[in-house]
Amino acid sequence: MFIEGQSQRVVLEWSLPIVHDCLREFYVQYVPLRSAGFKQLTQLHFTLWASLVRGDFEAARADEAKLATTAASLGLDVAICGAANRYVAAELLDLSLRRFRRMPEESKTNNQTLLAILMHLNRNAAPSHAAATVFRQAA
């Protein structure tokens, strides 16, 4: 069961700025910072994470396909997107564990959200788009 309502808004409020920063920090290693490709890649990947945090896994599947296509168009191996996902997830988990350790309900909500996201990224279901298949295997 995925979180909804006020708890979900709280997770969105604190996590999305972190996601944005992590993606920018990660992708600058692979794509020039001021390039159109950098902006497009980070925005698409951010959109994916926003869908994941909202629990909209149907939208996330479409976002994954767009991201995989964009990464390929920039000459990036789609495994890099999977590595970016692991980087973001690790950062969110670390922050949640440290920041919310004295707030058990918030910590539980954060951890449930991250678990649902990781389960989505690592699921074995066959996607409809070939590029998304590679993306999921890399995640």
Q: Please tell me the predicted confidence (pLDDT) of residue 49.
A: 94
In tens, the pLDDT along 67-124 reads 999 999 999 999 999 999 999 999 998 888 887 777 777 777 777 888 888 888 887 3
pTM above 0.85, yes or no: no
In tens, the pLDDT along 24-36 reads 999 999 999 999 9
* Residue 133: both structure tokens together: 């298949």
Instruction: Report the distance separating Cα 126 and Cα 110, nearest Å.
Output: 27
In tens, the pLDDT along 21-65 reads 999 999 999 999 999 999 999 999 999 999 998 889 999 999 999
Q: What is the dihedral of CA 8, 14, 16, 18, to 10 degrees?
A: -150
SS3 helix, strand, coil % of the chain, rounded to 5?
80, 0, 20
Q: Please tell me the predicted confidence (pLDDT) of residue 96.
A: 82
Q: How confident is the model at residue 4 (pLDDT cuts 50, 70, 90)?
A: low
123 or 128: which leads in pLDDT: 123
**DSSP code of 57?**
H
